[in-house]
Amino acid sequence: MGGKASHCYEMKQYFSRENNNISMKKEDCAVLEVFANAPIPKAVIKNVIPAIVSMIMVVIYNLADMFFVGQTHDALQVAAVSLATPVFMLLLAFGLLFGIGGTSVISRALGENKFEYAKKTSSFCFWAGNVVAVLCMLILWIFMDKILGVIGTSSATIGYTRSYLNIFAGGSVFVVICNSFSNIIRAEGKPKQAMMGLLIGNLVNCVLDPIMILWFGWGVAGAAIATVIGNAVGALYYIIYFLRGKSILSISINDFAAGNKICSGVLSIGIPASINSILISVSGVFINNLIVNYGDMAVAGIGVAMKVTLINLLLVIGVGQGVQPILGFCYGAKNWQRFNGVMRFSLIFATVLAVILTVASFIGAGVIVKAFLEEPAAYQFGVRFAHLLLISGPCLGALFVYSNALQALGAAVPSLILSVSRPGIIFIPILFLMNAMIGLTGLVIAQPVTDVLSCILAGVLYIYARKLLFNKSDSLCKDL
């Protein structure tokens, strides 16, 4: 059942062969025992809080860019940052491919005491991620003109958007490393260390934003430079963390391996996660191309409204990401009773948090939008859009707990179905239908409608995958 004695014994045996650092053995054994034996509320909170803090820093980073660009009092530059967001989401997708996929494989491997396999998986994620990031950078630079046309830039915003993306593309490797290893390190029971890279990088970005955007007068170009430097600092933190030898995982090229189902295991879960982010990027392009028909002020308004809802979204994503390695570990250790307990507690915690955040964001939407947009028309659009987008806020907690549980189980097909449904199969048809039926309001409320339907779908897929995978393991589990 993955008890304390068995996991401590296996880890000590492993490290006695691989490393003579006794303090590291005790530390690593202790952190994995939190997964295995700590009281469920303690284990969940201990891993969820650093993940939430990481997401708070991502929120601050996103708001800082938009806020300081907004202080230029140029709504066109604010619109340019909004237009560039789908490209950022595309790079984030590749970070998630290796981060979420790697976390799923590694946490289950550690639950099965396969420590060497976990090291090889970690190294694979690092080096394969770097190769993909370099390819993305080259594609962005080579096809910039076509990309600018696709994402919906107008003659007024194309120059600002080009400036932002040309600089941002240069930080592709750093973005992928940060978003991969902020997840992967959490898989070995080190949520604080996983948090620190994003925390430091985003703090650097927030400090540099006012200097480069306002003091130097570089506008959106300054925002892009600050973003690249912040991600570079975060990536450096994670690299140093591994080089210090304090991890049971590895980024050494000597540990790189793609065979023995490492590559396929990572990709089977990572691809659905990345497809989700890619389709969010694609859906953002559709939104931009539709909403640009209502004017540049509407584009600026939807961009800021999405920042308001991003607060809720990222925090509940943090809950899902925090609980995923615990669920994966329990599944690998075949500790079904603990797995069910973690799921129950996480669903309750995430739902309560989502409701609180939705109410707070709805009340404070006007204040938040005002910080970014002073132009009256853009401000009115922003507040109106934010209130509409927040309708589905309470269901987001359960949605992302179910989504991360599917990833923890290694349920590739259900994960893929959910990933292509929410931002793609469900959202895009609803987007065009609602826009055709009720215009601008319909275009905006397409997202809340999609979220509710996706939450129902996620619950159904989780129940199906759980029964199927637990039955394969010859285990009987009570329904949640």
Residue 249 contacts by C-beta under 8 Å, 6 or more apart in sequence? 106, 118, 119, 122, 184, 185, 187, 188, 242
Specify the DSSP element, H or E, that contains 246. Answer: none
Separation of alpha carbons 86 and 90, rounded Å: 6
Within 293-411, residue ranges assigned H as helices are 296-332, 336-372, 376-389, 396-409
Instruction: Give the angle 68-71-73 at the CA atoms, nearest 5°.
Output: 140
Which helix (H) or strand (E) segment holds residue 106: the answer is helix 75-111
Looking at per-residue confidence, does 5 or 100 come out higher? 100
Inter-CA distances, 431 with 149, 303, 318, 428, 441, Å: 21, 16, 27, 5, 11
- Give the residue among 30, 257, 288, 49 at the shortest CA–CA distance from 149: 288
Sign of the CA dihedral with 472 first, then 477, 479, and 480 last: negative
Structure tokens at 153: 């830039």
* Interval 275-296: pLDDT, tens: 777 777 677 778 877 887 888 7
Residues 6+ apart with CB under 8 A from 67: 209, 371, 372
From residue 121, alpha-carbon distances to 108, 139, 179, 228, 364 in Å are 12, 27, 16, 27, 43
Task: Tell me which of 122 and 335 has the higher pLDDT.
Answer: 122
Is the pLDDT confidence value at 3 over 70?
A: no
DSSP structure class, residue 170: T
Contact 260, 116 (CB under 8 A): no
Picking from 412, 409, 400, the residue whose alpha carbon sits closest to that of residue 108 is 409
Q: Write the single-letter amino acid at 68.
A: F
Give the tens place of pLDDT for each residue, 421-464: 887 888 889 989 988 898 888 888 998 999 999 999 999 999 98
Which of 247-261, 302-316, 444-458 comes out lowest in average pLDDT? Answer: 302-316
Work out the angle between the directed axes of helices 336-372 and 40-70 (0-180°, nearest 10): 20
Distance CA 60, CA 273 (A): 23
Query: Rounded to whole angstroms, how far apart are CA atoms 412 and 99?
Result: 15
User: Token digits for 131?
Assistant: 């190769």
In this prediction the pTM is 0.75
**Strand runs labelled E in 157-303:** none
Asked if 329 contacts 111 with a C-beta cutoff of 8 angstroms, the reply is yes
Task: Determine what percent of the chain is predicted with pLDDT higher than 90.
Answer: 33
Crossing angle for the helix pair 172-187 and 219-243, to the nearest 10 degrees:
40
Read off the pLDDT of residues 76-99 as tens digits, 9 standing for 90 and up: 887 888 788 778 878 888 888 899
CA–CA distance, 228 with 281 (Å, rounded to integer): 20
What average pLDDT is seen over the chain? 84
Residue 5 has pLDDT above 70, yes or no: no
The CB density around residue 14, as the number of other CB atoms within 10 Å, is 18
Which pLDDT score, from 0 to 100, does residue 27 have? 54
Nearest CA-CA partner of 409 in 366, 348, 458, 371? 458
Enumerate residues 6+ apart whose C-beta is below 8 A from 58: 198, 202, 314
pLDDT band (50, 70, 90) for residue 473: low
The answer to whether 102 and 187 have CB atoms below 8 angstroms apart is yes
Mean pLDDT of 46-71: 78
Amino acid 395: pLDDT:
92
Q: How many CB atoms lie within 10 A of CB 344?
A: 12
pLDDT value for 462? 93
Q: How confident is the model at residue 47 (pLDDT cuts 50, 70, 90)?
A: confident
pLDDT in tens, 101-156: 998 899 888 888 888 999 999 999 999 999 999 999 999 999 998 888 887 787 88
Residue 157 phi/psi, 5-degree rounding, is -105, -10
Which phi and psi angles does 98 have, rounded to 5°? -85, -30
Please, are residues 463 and 405 in contact by the beta-carbon 8 Å criterion? no
Instruction: Give residue-wise pLDDT tens across range 337-392.
Output: 899 999 999 999 999 999 999 999 899 888 888 877 778 888 888 889 999 999 99
For residue 61, the Cα-to-chain-centroid distance in whole angstroms is 14
